[in-house]
């Protein structure tokens, strides 16, 4: 029995996983597929580990793979694929396979109006105003104003918000249209024609060229590369910068060589249903009566970019919303701010208070009417209508007091949100001049939330970094070589002697160049020779220039550095590599390539030089390579060099450079022959082959001699470390969520100062131990983790959070039961929130969104997500605020974001300046608006006690209508748009000021209560002081209209004085806004009380010359002055006293700091590492095998890549023959 084993790791979301065995057959039988199913028994209650029991069945058994696969797609046969239907509702069915059209929008033409209205009336304020309008329309005789007077502003408010939502959604429609209309080549008949992405369906065959973006999830059928390899860049999907290779099945590679054969291809792919697992795929290809297993190595995912490949061909298996990247994109969420949620609750509270007040005043009316029974002139029939009259009086009071929650406040708030958004767009400090990209607020309703952010979730690649690798420094024989000073560089180019030199290399050291050219230092020679030999880079010549095609930017930087220093990699074959060494061409025979992987953390090449000597060249992490150095017969000079190299490693780590150690040794012929036999035996094992090979590799990689260290800079974006430090001072926690490897993510964490050298690392094993201890103990709180950072992987998160272990956790509170999954989620989030930093690596887009959702759920904080690629879209949509960077990975993140920035560093100004200002302005605006509304409208309640509880309005109708819309609008707008408590410079210098927004200090229930008390006290003064002064006096205040006018003016001047006191940022606009507000009052009052308007409509303009008559009396002016003084001076005195008492003394400040440092709960100390390794290397395992097997190499030398087109079958065939 013989064959091979393929695997699909189990996902906690999908239940039992499975393996397949291919080619296993008994003697005399055809090869087939043997299903291997899993029965899983829980072992660890926390991580969800399982005991695996294999159950093997042949394909024709009831338990075969066919029962596991329900997705069946046939190539070049849309009729066959269209026959599959899926049930939607009852008897309604639709096509199972979606088209390639995507929709990321919230609305369409038909759903916009009903859905938008549904969302808008989720705001309690809109529902409240609609109820008042209905009452006014239903009972016009008791309405204080016509119903349309409130209906028109409500329609205006709804229109403003609907327009804003429509504009945002139109942007999404445009983005979708742009993507759906991208061109691609699709097989139509017997030729590839240019079509659009939206025209693709499952089963269609597509042709892709270099730098094309894959339009759907495609099964790779063949390519122009050797053995139908295809190289893809997945940075826009998983954040990894290294190239990955995909390979077509050998059968399709051999058979599908031209368009005619592709047109006749009738293979059927049977695979799993569409899912969100980016790195997993299981299925098979059925073709010509045979079955071939498929895995993720055969699939090109939508969003990948074709690299280093002229042309490839594929078959669409998932299209549109069924693709894996779209399964990870998530839905558009309705985002509401904390203040919006609070205002909803306050509207309910105010409505309840208005109803209770109306009921109380109605009872007063009832009691007054009851007294009328004593009078003979009251008819008995009138008493029978008392109940209905009381009911109408209740409705009258309800309508009269409805302005306690003014509609004008919400309309003005929309203009304030819009204005602050425009200020973000206009900020030249956030304009990125190199690319001409300004900051842009794509959402106008979330500005206030920018001032309350507590957690930032950031992508790494393209967000924190530029994805540019630069050879920065090196250490050879313990001597560090750095970049020359600018004065030395000005003397000339040190590489003019080398015709192969790459002018883009920035690392120039004249001293090192002179040592290299002297060709006397053996260690320097071997150092550069190793970099030119030990790699998996491919080379081609184009326009007399060498072009390196590397699997990772790290390798390209290393080989390019060796090229500039005279050791030029020229060519490679299956068993040789050609290097130009200081002008001399030398060919090395490759005896073995020992591939890099994440466990070995090193790569080695065993070569025979032209002189016949055998050398082993190794590069890798210092943590593993130092263990491979020779321990015996080490000379003192070599020991000194090792110590100096360790010091250089420490220095490079402090500078956050990515390091690789280089070592070599000479291998005896006899030693090599013995090792070759063991290597050959290990390479043909059927079981545990990889482990055996690793053991053989380790035997050879011993007793090495250290050459030195390379230091590569993964260049950060400008200002990233300073930005993160500033945000941390503002108590904003930054979590990095990346799809890249752990070493790379950690190194960037140190580079951007998210991690520090004295910070302990809380890794997965320690996390598990802490949570298990917490589970077993009776402690009610997780222990405090001091000065530690948490680093976890996506796989660990799946095991920890989503595993179905059947664990029953006993809550201490018997009245509440918490599921095991909810407990794991909460425990993980609480532990992570106590760490100073969190880095999650190898996470999928869906896991990024999950982490954001968990923090929102269990911490109840404002979250912000920032990224630049399609893999960040789901996270951006899930967070309270989404920020998209206009980066190199496309505009998907920007098109789904709330704010657009060009650089990560602009986030500092966006939050600390614009965010904090917006929050402070809106809070001050709300508090002042509530205060001034109560100042004016509470007078109506006091007046009801003196008007027989008849719901008569005290103020003139026009004053009541224009008070919020005209008389006090400009100062309120100034507060909402221009108010500043500190300047932008001070906001950036004092990030601790930002903490006030996180704690909701500027607007909360206590501030709301203060505004109520302040407004109520002012109304009491205005009403009763005026009433008492005019009591029993015949004079200018003896009539109702005069009393109304004095109270109106007193109230207006009182709220104007309050706005003068609370404004801190005074400009000419401040003075003008106050001046014109008073001018508006004077002009409108003078006009509305004029004789000619009175003659036109006495009922509408009843206050004839009242203001003019009253203000002509000095005593009235003194009354107004007295009211304003009594409202202003005590408040001013209280504020001065409060500020004096609020300032802490030096001793109190020290006591508070000591209290903050003291942690009353259990602490866990995580000790920092003795010496941190800054090793980081982006590389994928498998390239070495492709080279040694010849799979990756072109068979015909001298043929280079060229642009590949498909106008005819003959050209297709000729190009395929090259393969």
- Which of 482, 471, 537 is closest to 506 using CA atoms? 471
Structural contact between residues 267 and 255, judged by C-beta atoms closer than 8 angstroms? no
Structure tokens at 766: 């320690």
E strands, 642-743, where? Answer: 658-667, 705-716, 733-737
Query: Given CA atoms 666, 672, 676, 678 in this order, what sign does their dihedral have?
Result: negative
CA 491/CA 508 separation, integer angstroms: 12
Residue 403's Cβ-count burial label (10 Å; 0-12, 13-18, 19+) is: buried
Dig out the tokens for 1175 from the structure.
């090793």
Catalytic pick among 204, 236, 238, 459: 459
Note whether 840 and 430 are within 8 A (CB): no
Q: Measured between alpha carbons, how far is 438 from 424 in angstroms, rounded to an integer?
A: 9
* Residues 843, 328 contacting (CB under 8 angstroms): no
Angle subtended at Cα 1218 by Cα 1213 and Cα 1219, rounded to the nearest 5 degrees: 100
Helix (H) or strand (E) holding 380: helix 380-384
Coil, strand or helix at 978: helix
The residue behind tokens 């507060």 is: 975
960, 953 Cβ separation under 8 angstroms: yes
Cα dihedral sign for 25, 29, 30, 35?
A: negative
Residue 105, CA distances (Å) to 139, 168, 367 in order? 42, 9, 59
Cβ atoms 395, 418 nearer than 8 A: no
Compute the C-alpha angle 868/871/875, nearest 5°: 85
* The two three-digit tokens of residue 1012, written as one number: 């109520």
How close are the terminal C-alpha atoms of the chain, in Å? 33
Grouping H, G, I as helix, E, B as strand and the rest as coil, residue 516 is helix
Tokens of 441: 């607020």
Q: Which of 422, 272, 462 is nearest to 868 (CA)?
A: 462
DSSP at 333: -
- C-beta atoms surrounding 1166 within 10 Å: 17
| Residues 142 and 358: beta-carbon distance below 8 Å | no
227: phi then psi, degrees, rounded to nearest 5: 55, 30
Alpha carbon distance 1143, 209 (integer Å): 68
The residues, any chain, with a CB within 8 Å of residue 205's CB and separated by 6 or more, are: 75, 76, 186, 187, 221, 262, 265, 313, 314, 315, 316
Nearest Cα neighbor of 1049 from 927, 928, 935 is 935
Q: Is 459 a catalytic residue?
A: yes
**How far out from the chain centre does Cα 1180 lie?**
26
Provide the β-strand partners of residue 890. 887
Give the three-state DSSP class for 508.
coil
Q: Write out the two tokens for 417.
A: 């949100």
Rounded to an integer, what distance in angstroms lies between the CA atom of residue 734 and that of residue 755? 11
* Contacting residues for 543 by C-beta, under 8 A, at least 6 apart: none
Contact 539, 549 (CB under 8 A): yes
For every residue of 273-315, DSSP letters joined together read PP-S-TT--EEEEEETTEEEEEEGGGEEPTT-EEES-SEEEEE
Catalytic residue numbers, as ranges: 459
């Amino acid at each position: 029995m013989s064959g091979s084993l393929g695997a699909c790791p189990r996902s906690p979301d999908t239940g039992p996983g499975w393996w397949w065995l291919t080619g296993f057959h008994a003697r005399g039988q055809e090869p087939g597929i043997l299903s291997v199913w899993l029965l899983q028994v829980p072992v660890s209650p926390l991580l969800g580990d399982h005991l695996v029991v294999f159950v093997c069945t042949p394909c024709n058994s009831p338990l075969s793979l066919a029962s596991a696969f329900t997705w069946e797609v046939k190539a070049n046969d849309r009729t066959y694929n269209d026959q599959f239907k899926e049930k939607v509702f009852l008897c309604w069915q639709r096509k199972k396979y979606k088209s390639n059209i995507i929709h990321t929008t919230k609305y369409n033409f038909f759903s916009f109006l009903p859905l938008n209205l549904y969302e808008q009336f989720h705001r309690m304020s809109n529902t409240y105003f609609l109820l008042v309008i209905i009452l006014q329309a239903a009972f016009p005789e008791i309405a204080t104003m016509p119903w349309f007077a409130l209906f028109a502003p409500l329609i205006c408010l709804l229109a403003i918000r609907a327009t804003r939502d429509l504009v945002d959604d139109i942007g999404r429609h445009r983005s979708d249209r742009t993507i759906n209309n991208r061109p691609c080549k699709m097989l139509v008949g017997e030729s590839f024609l240019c079509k659009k992405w939206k025209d693709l369906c499952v089963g269609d065959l597509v042709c892709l060229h270099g730098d094309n973006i894959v339009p759907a999830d495609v099964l790779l059928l063949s390519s122009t590369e050797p053995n139908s390899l295809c190289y893809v860049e997945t940075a826009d999907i998983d954040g990894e910068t290294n190239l990955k290779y995909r390979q077509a099945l050998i059968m399709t590679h051999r058979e599908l060589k031209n368009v005619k054969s592709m047109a006749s291809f009738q293979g059927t792919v049977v695979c799993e249903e569409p899912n969100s697992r980016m790195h997993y795929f299981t299925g098979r290809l059925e073709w010509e009566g045979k079955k071939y297993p498929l895995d993720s190595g055969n699939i090109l995912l939508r969003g990948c970019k074709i690299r280093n490949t002229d042309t490839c061909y594929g078959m669409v298996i998932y299209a549109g919303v069924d693709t894996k990247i779209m399964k990870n994109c998530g839905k558009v969420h309705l985002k509401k701010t904390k203040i919006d949620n609070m205002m909803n609750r306050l509207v309910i509270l105010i409505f309840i208070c208005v109803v209770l007040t109306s009921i109380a005043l109605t009872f007063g009316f009832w009691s007054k009417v009851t007294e009328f029974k004593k009078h003979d002139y009251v008819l008995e029939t009138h008493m029978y209508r008392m109940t209905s009259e009381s009911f109408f009086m209740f409705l009258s009071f309800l309508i009269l007091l409805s302005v306690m929650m003014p509609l004008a406040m919400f309309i003005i708030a929309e203009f304030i949100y819009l204005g602050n958004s425009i200020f973000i767009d206009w900020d030249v400090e956030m304009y990125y001049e190199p690319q001409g990209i300004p900051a842009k607020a794509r959402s106008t309703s979330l500005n206030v939330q920018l001032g309350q952010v507590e957690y930032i979730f950031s992508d790494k690649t393209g967000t924190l970094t530029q994805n540019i690798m630069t050879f920065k420094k090196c250490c050879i024989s313990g001597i560090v070589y750095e970049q020359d000073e600018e004065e030395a560089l000005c003397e000339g180019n040190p590489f003019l002697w080398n015709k192969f030199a790459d002018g883009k290399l920035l690392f120039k050291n004249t001293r090192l160049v002179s040592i290299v050219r002297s060709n006397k230092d053996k260690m320097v020679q071997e150092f550069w020779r190793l970099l030119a030999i030990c790699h998996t880079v491919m080379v081609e010549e184009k326009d007399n220039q060498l072009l390196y095609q590397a699997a990772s930017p790290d390798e390209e930087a290393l080989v390019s550095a060796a090229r500039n220093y005279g050791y030029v990699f020229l060519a490679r074959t299956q068993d040789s590599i050609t290097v130009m060494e200081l002008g001399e061409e030398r060919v090395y025979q490759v005896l073995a390539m020992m591939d890099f992987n994440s466990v070995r953390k090193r790569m080695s090449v065993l070569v025979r030089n032209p002189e016949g000597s055998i050398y082993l060249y190794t590069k890798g992490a210092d943590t593993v390579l130092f263990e491979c150095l020779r321990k015996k017969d080490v000379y003192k000079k070599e020991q000194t060099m090792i110590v100096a190299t360790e010091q250089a490693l420490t220095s490079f780590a402090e500078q956050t450079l990515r390091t690789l150690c280089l070592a070599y040794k000479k291998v005896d012929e006899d030693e090599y022959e013995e090792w070759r036999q063991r290597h050959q035996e290990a390479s043909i094992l059927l079981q545990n082959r990889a482990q055996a090979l690793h053991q053989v590799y380790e035997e050879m990689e011993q007793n090495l001699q250290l050459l030195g260290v390379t230091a590569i800079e993964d260049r950060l974006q400008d200002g990233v470390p300073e930005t993160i430090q500033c945000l941390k001072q503002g108590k904003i926690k930054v979590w990095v969520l990346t799809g890249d490897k752990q070493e790379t993510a950690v190194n960037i964490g140190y580079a951007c100062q998210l991690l520090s050298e004295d910070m302990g690392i809380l890794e997965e094993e320690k996390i598990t131990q802490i949570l298990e201890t917490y589970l077993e103990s009776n402690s009610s709180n997780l222990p405090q983790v001091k000065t530690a950072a948490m680093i976890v992987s996506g796989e660990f998160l799946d095991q920890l959070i989503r595993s179905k272990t059947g664990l029953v956790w006993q809550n201490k509170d018997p009245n509440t039961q918490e599921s095991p999954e909810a407990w794991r989620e909460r425990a993980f989030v609480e532990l992570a929130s106590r760490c100073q930093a969190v880095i999650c690596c190898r996470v999928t887009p869906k896991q990024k969104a999950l982490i954001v959702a968990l923090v929102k759920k269990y911490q109840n904080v404002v979250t912000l997500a920032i990224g630049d690629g399609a893999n960040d879209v789901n996270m951006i949509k899930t967070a309270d605020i989404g920020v998209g960077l206009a980066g190199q990975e496309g505009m998907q993140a920007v098109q789904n974001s709330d704010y657009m920035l060009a650089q990560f560093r602009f986030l500092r100004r966006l939050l600390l300046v614009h965010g904090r200002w917006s929050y402070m302005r809106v809070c001050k605006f709300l508090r002042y608006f509530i205060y001034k509304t109560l100042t004016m409208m509470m007078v109506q309640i006091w007046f009801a006690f003196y008007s027989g509880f008849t719901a008569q309005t005290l103020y003139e109708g026009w004053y009541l209508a224009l008070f919020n819309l005209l008389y006090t609008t400009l100062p309120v707008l100034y507060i909402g748009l221009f108010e500043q408590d500190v300047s932008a410079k001070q906001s950036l210098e004092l990030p601790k000021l930002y903490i006030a927004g996180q704690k909701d200090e500027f607007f909360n229930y206590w501030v709301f209560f203060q505004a109520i008390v302040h407004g109520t006290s002012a109304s009491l003064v205005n009403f009763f002081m005026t009433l008492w002064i005019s009591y029993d006096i015949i004079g200018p205040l003896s009539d109702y209209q005069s009393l109304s006018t004095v109270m109106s003016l007193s109230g207006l001047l009182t709220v104007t004085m309050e706005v003068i006191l609370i404004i801190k940022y005074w400009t000419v606009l401040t003075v003008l806004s106050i001046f014109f507000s008073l001018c508006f009052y004077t002009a409108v009052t003078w006009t509305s009380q004029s004789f000619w308007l009175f003659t036109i409509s006495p009922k509408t303009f009843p206050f004839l010359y009242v203001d003019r008559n009253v203000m002509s009396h000095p005593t009235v002016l003194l009354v107004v002055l007295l009211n304003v003084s009594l409202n202003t001076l005590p408040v001013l005195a209280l504020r001065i006293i409060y500020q004096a008492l609020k300032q802490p003394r030096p001793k109190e400040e020290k006591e508070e700091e000591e209290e903050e440092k003291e942690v009353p709960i259990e602490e866990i100390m995580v000790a920092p590492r003795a010496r941190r390794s800054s090793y980081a290397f982006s590389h994928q395992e498998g390239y070495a095998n492709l080279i040694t097997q010849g799979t990756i190499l072109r068979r015909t030398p001298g043929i280079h890549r060229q642009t590949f087109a498909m106008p005819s079958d003959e050209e297709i065939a000729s190009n395929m023959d090259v393969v």
